[in-house]
């Protein structure tokens, strides 16, 4: 079996870490598979949303493969150790983490870097690096996603938090019963995928501007991002479809 699988369901790409016997830990084969899958999604004109998840019902991803790290005496992970969406690889289309169990260390990283997160009610999250003497430079955006004191507690203690707590602090969008996770995420992804693709991609860019620019510069950059959307054929198609009481036919241009 491949350590990472890629399938498209109604325009939604499901990228699944398929190593449940090792709690979907990030072996080299898994990391390579994730790189291949994210690049495939970027090139896949038949997929509008990427869902990242793990096989089984125990773990989304438990983080790095510590046995492999010990064998290779890994010190500072290289910049391309695994795909960090928005940091070492750009993904213009929306991404969702479907967290079906523990999301620790590198698993937390993968969920954090997705645009949306939906968790099964038994899922747990932790940046556990302080407990094993490793590092988490990738956690730099955490205090933008949750209040700084919450980010500090997560980072300093390494203690896991429940899906409900993750929802309370804004790290998770929805918490659902485990058997409903796939259907819920598929429905959410479809609601995104049926929207105008140029508008969706511009909306994603806009949401991250406040983390990268001062307020006035963010407004200026947003105007630049949205101007091509206003000038697109789809911008005319949307009002026309509304007037004619029909479903819009998006061209992505």
How far is residue 213's CA from residue 54's CA, in Å, rounded to a whole number? 34
pLDDT at res. 70: 64
pLDDT at res. 154: 97
Residue 66 has pLDDT above 90, yes or no: no
Q: Domain check: are 97 and 221 in the same one?
A: no
Three-state DSSP class for 120? strand
The whole-number average pLDDT for the span 3-28 is 96
Q: Domain check: are 102 and 156 in the same one?
A: yes
Residue 69 has pLDDT above 80, yes or no: no
pLDDT at res. 11: 96
Q: Domain check: are 186 and 201 in the same one?
A: no
Q: Domain check: are 77 and 177 in the same one?
A: yes
Its domain, for residue 174, covers: 4-193
Would you say residue 248 lies in a domain?
no
Number of H helices, E strands in the chain: 11, 10
How far is residue 26's CA from residue 39's CA, in Å, rounded to a whole number? 18
What whole-number percentage of the chain has pLDDT above 90? 89
How far is residue 116's CA from residue 42's CA, in Å, rounded to a whole number? 17
Q: Which helix (H) or strand (E) holds 125?
A: strand 124-126
Would you say residue 253 lies in a domain?
no
The whole-number average pLDDT for the span 202-216 is 95
Would you say residue 58 lies in a domain?
yes
Instruction: Give the phi and the psi of residue 81 in degrees, each rounded to 5.
Output: -55, -45
The pair of three-digit structure tokens given for residue 112, joined into one six-digit string: 């954090």
The whole-number average pLDDT for the span 150-178 is 97
pLDDT at res. 76: 84
The whole-number average pLDDT for the span 76-86 is 89
The pair of three-digit structure tokens given for residue 201, joined into one six-digit string: 């991609």
Q: Domain check: are 184 and 238 in the same one?
A: no
The per-residue pLDDT for range 134-144, each reduced to its tens digit, is: 889 999 999 99
The per-residue pLDDT for range 100-157, each reduced to its tens digit, is: 999 999 999 999 999 999 999 999 999 999 998 888 999 999 999 999 999 999 999 9
DSSP calls for 75-119: -SPPTTSS--BTTTB---S-EEEEE-SEEETHHHHHHHHSSEEEE
Residue 72 has pLDDT above 80, yes or no: no
Q: Domain check: are 201 and 189 in the same one?
A: no
Would you say residue 13 lies in a domain?
yes
The whole-number average pLDDT for the span 38-52 is 98
Q: Domain check: are 119 and 225 in the same one?
A: no
pLDDT at res. 252: 92
pLDDT at res. 71: 64
pLDDT confidence of 39, banded at 50, 70, 90? very high
The pair of three-digit structure tokens given for residue 57, joined into one six-digit string: 């019902």
- Number of separate domains in the chain: 2
The residues facing 52 across adjacent strands are 15, 97
Q: Domain check: are 79 and 166 in the same one?
A: yes
Q: What is the mean pLDDT of the chain?
A: 94
Alpha carbon 8 to chain centroid, angstroms: 16
Would you say residue 174 lies in a domain?
yes
């Amino acid at each position: 079996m491949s350590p990472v699988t890629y399938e498209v369901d109604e325009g939604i790409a499901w990228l699944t870490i398929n190593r449940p016997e090792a709690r979907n830990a990030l072996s080299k084969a898994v990391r390579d598979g994730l790189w291949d899958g994210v690049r495939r999604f970027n090139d896949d004109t038949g997929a509008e949303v990427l869902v990242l998840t793990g096989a089984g019902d125990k773990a989304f991803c438990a983080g790095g493969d510590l046995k492999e790290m010990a064998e290779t005496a890994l010190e500072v992970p290289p910049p391309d150790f695994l795909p960090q969406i928005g940091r070492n690889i750009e993904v213009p289309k929306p991404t969702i983490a479907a967290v079906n169990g523990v999301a620790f260390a590198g698993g937390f990283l993968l969920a954090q870097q997705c645009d949306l997160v939906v968790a099964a009610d038994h899922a747990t999250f932790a940046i556990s690096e302080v407990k094993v003497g490793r590092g988490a430079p990738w956690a730099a955006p955490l205090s933008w996603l949750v209040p700084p004191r919450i980010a500090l507690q997560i980072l300093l203690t390494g203690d896991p938090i429940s899906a409900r707590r993750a929802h309370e602090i804004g790290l998770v969008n929805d918490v659902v019963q485990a058997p409903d996770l796939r259907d819920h995420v598929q429905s959410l992804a479809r609601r995104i995928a049926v929207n105008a693709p140029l508008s969706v991609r511009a909306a994603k860019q806009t949401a991250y501007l406040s983390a990268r620019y001062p307020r006035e510069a963010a407004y200026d950059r947003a105007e630049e991002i949205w101007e091509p959307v206003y000038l697109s054929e789809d911008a005319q198609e949307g009002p026309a479809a509304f007037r004619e009481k029909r479903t819009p036919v998006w061209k992505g241009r």
